[in-house]
Structure 1
Amino acid sequence: MNPTLLSCTLFLVFIITIGTEAASGDVVYDVTGEKVLDNVPYYIGPVVWANGGGIKLNDTKNNTKVCPFYVVQDPAEVNVGGQFSFTLIAKQEYLLTSRILGIDSGYPESSCDQSTFWQIPDPEAKAPSNLITTGGSFDSSETCFQVLDYPKPTSSKVHSYMLQHCPSLCGSGPDHTCFNVSIYEEKGVRYLVSSGTPFEFVFQKVIK
C-alpha cells in the first residue's frame, strides 16, 4: 500500500476509535452495570439507603389531596419507590448524559387527569415554590431535564447521577442556566426541588 494512503487510513481508524470511546462514555448505567434503556421504567433512589428510600409520587400535601402530584423521596429505606421512564427528546436506544429528556411517571391508579411528566413551572423560585410535580407537557421548557454524572460519587462501585432542570435548552428561561435537582424537606416530607445540593441517585431496572 502507498505509504501516504496507509497513513491516511490509520488516521481515520484512530479518529473513528476516539469518537466511539467518547460516545460510549455518555451512556448511563444502572446499579448492575447494564446500560439504561431509553423510555423504559426504572426505579431511582439514593446510593446509600440510610436517609430514605426511592423516589415516588405523593398525592397529598398538608393532609389535602392534590392534582397534579408531587415528586418526593419515600421515607422508608426498604421502599424502592415508583417507576419512572427517562425519554430523550432525540430518541436513542440507551439513555445518555447531558442530553435533553422528559421524565414520565407512567399512569398510577388515580382520579387525577393531569399529565404524568415531571415539571417545574418556575425553577428560579425559592422552595417551596419550585417543587417538582407531574402535569407537564413533553418537550417543553417546564419539563426539560438532563442526567449528569455525579461529580463526587459516594461509591466507586456503582454509577451515580444527578438531575438538572434546563428550561433554556427547550426554548425559554435564563440562557445557559440549569438548576440542580435536590431534596427539600417540609413537615417531614422530602420533596424534589430545583435548587441546592444535587440529589445523588442510581438507576435500578424494574423487573416484571
Structure 2
Amino acid sequence: MKPSLFYVSFILFIINSGIASATQVVVKDATGKKVLNNVPYHIGPVTVAKGGGFKLTNTMNNKKICPYNVVQDPSAANLGDTFMFTLNYKRPKYLHTEGVVGIDSGYPKTGPCQKSTFWTIPDAEAKAPDNLVTTGGGFEEDITCFQLVEYPKPTNPKVHSYMLQHCPSFCGSGPQTCFNVSLYVDNGVRRLASRGTPFEFVFHKVPK
C-alpha cells in the first residue's frame, strides 16, 4: 500500500471512531470570521465546481415526503437554505468543534408536513432511506445528535472547512461511535446521509 493511501485510510479510521480530535476549536466561516452560535448560516462545498448550498426538499423519486430531506442545490449560484447550529454546552457565543450540536432547518412548521425542523438520522447504521439526513425529533435526542469536526485534509488549506458527524451515544442511547455525514446520490439528487467518506463544507454568513 502506498504511504498516501495508508495515511488517508488511517485518518478515515480515526474519524469513524469518533476521536478525530481532542481539541475544541472555534469554527470560522469561509471569510475567516467566527461563526456565531444559534445564528442562521448557509453551508456549502468548498469550491463552486462541486455545486451549491444545502436546502430542504419535500420530494423523493417524484413522491411527496414528510419529514423533509436535506439535499444539495445543483446550481453553484444558489446558497441554499439557512441553518442554525446550536451548541448544547453552556450556549457559548461562538460555535466550536467537538461539542454536541443540534441543527435547526428553520423551515415553517405549518402546512401539510408539520414536523420539527431539527436535522435527524433515523438509523445511522442502516441503508438509505433510513440513514438519510431528514428532519424531525427534538433537541439533544440521540437521533438529532451531531458534532462538527475540522476537515482532516482540507481541499484549500487557506479556507476553514469542516465535516459533520452523527453521534447518537453523545445524547443518549445508540452505537458507541460517530458516523461521518457524507453525500448519497439518488437518481441524480445529492442527499446527505450517514457513513462513507465525510463531506467537506464551509459556512457562509447570510447576506444582509
TM-score category (smaller protein): 0.7 to 0.9
SS in 2 for 1:183: strand
Number of the residue aligned with 2:85: 86
SS in 1 for 2:126: coil
Aligned-partner Cα distance in 2 for 1:110–1:58: 15
SS in 2 for 1:168: helix
Bigger Rg, structure 1 or 2: 1
Runs of 4+ in 1 over 2 A off after TM superposition: 107-110
Number of the residue aligned with 1:168: 169
Aligned-partner Cα distance in 2 for 1:33–1:109: 33
Number of the residue aligned with 2:71: 72
Structure 1 position 118, deviation (Å): 0.2
TM-score (norm 1): 0.85
Structure 1 position 108, deviation (Å): 3.7
Structure 2, unaligned stretches of length 5 or more? 1-21
Q: Can you list the C-alpha shifts for 1:145-169, whole angstroms capped at 9, x where unaligned?
A: 0000000000022100000000011
Residues 1:185 and 2:162 aligned together:
no
Number of the residue aligned with 1:5: none
Number of the residue aligned with 1:132: 133
Structure 1 position 107, deviation (Å): 2.5
Structure 1, unaligned stretches of length 5 or more? 1-21
TM alignment of 1:24-103, pairs within 5 A:
26-90=25-89, 91-103=91-103
Instruction: State the one-letter code of the partner of 1:39.
Output: N
Kindly, what percent of the aligned residue pairs are identical?
64
Number of the residue aligned with 2:16: none
Q: Can you list the C-alpha shifts for 1:52-103, whole angstroms capped at 9, x where unaligned?
A: 1111101111111211100011111111111000001121110010100100
SS in 1 for 2:170: helix
Instruction: State the one-letter code of the partner of 1:183.
Output: L
TM-score (norm 2): 0.85
Q: Can you list the C-alpha shifts for 1:178-203, whole angstroms capped at 9, x where unaligned?
A: 00000000101111000110000000
Aligned-partner Cα distance in 2 for 1:109–1:53: 25
Equivalent residue pairs, number: 185
Alpha-carbon distance change, 153 to 27 in structure 1, aligned in 2, over 3 angstroms: same
